A and B are shown apart, each in its own frame.
Chain A
Amino acid sequence: DGGITQSPKYLFRKEGQNVTLSCEQNLNHDAMYWYRQDPGQGLRLIYYSQIVNDFQKGDIAEGYSVSREKKESFPLTVTSAQKNPTAFYLCASSIHSFEGGNTEAFFGQGTRLTVV
């Protein structure tokens, strides 16, 4: 089945530890995204990537890092510098806007990160 997979679904970490969230897609999409969701704040863009080996900061990139070494994978690392990392994290993918600007994004099921 084609789709986008995030793992794990739930993640617990101690304060001060880095943690990496996985996002894999087999849709052959070039563009991939990471969003953070907090109650009442909607989805806020952390990072996005239009192509392999390239990515851009979103609105709340501080304390996060990403890599895009393969087309199908876009892992997100939540570093110890992120002051309030407990949240629901969503990954998405899409084709490029120049291939079809009004093409929708496909979302994974999310990872709920709790830092204690």
Chain B
Amino acid sequence: AQSVAQPEDQVNVAEGNPLTVKCTYSVSGNPYLFWYVQYPNRGLQFLLKYITGDNLVKGSYGFEAEFNKSQTSFHLKKPSALVSDSALYFCAVRLRDDKIIFGKGTRLHILP
């Protein structure tokens, strides 16, 4: 079955430290991978997407994601965390029939 997994329900990081939010996927063919962020009682905002051939993708608000085909991972990263980065983060994969599957989300807490 095609799926997306986010193994951590919550990640705590001190402000100024680097952060990583993990995502692994299981899809056939080349994956269409995305990261979204959600603030309380709001819809999802697009952060970045995998572009074929780019193992490091840069996105909004200083976020980037590292694609690793052998490990089927697409981890979200940021070199220096801000308190305002605290939110709920979702990894997603888009299938060939337009179906979009999301992971369960990871709550990121940036500690001042």
Contacts and interface: CB of A to CB of B under 8 A. Distances in A.
| Residue from B42, B43, B46 with most neighbouring chain A CB atoms (10 Å) | B43
Nearest to B99: A48
Contacts of B94: 97, 101-102, 105
A102 B32 contact: yes
Contact of A101 (B42, B96, B102): B96
A94 interface: yes
Interface residues of B, number: 30
B10 to A, nearest CB: 11
Given A40-B9, A42-B105, A102-B50, A96 B43 contact: no
Interface in B82-112: 90, 92, 94-105
Nearest to B43: A107
B49 interface: yes
A97 B50 contact: no
A78 to B, nearest CB: 18
Interface residues of A, number: 29
A63 interface: no
A50 B97 contact: yes
A58 B9 contact: no
A58 B99 contact: yes
A45 B104 contact: no
Interface string B17-53: 0000000000000001110100001111110011110
A30 to B, nearest CB: 8
Contacts of A112: 41
A80 B76 CA distance: 40
Interface in A19-44: 31, 33, 35, 40-43
Contacts of A102: 32-34, 49-52, 94
Contacts of A50: 97-98
A15 interface: no
Nearest to A97: B98
Contacts of B92: 105
Interface of A: 6, 31, 33, 35, 40-43, 45, 48, 50, 56, 58, 88, 90, 92, 94, 96-97, 101-102, 104-110, 112
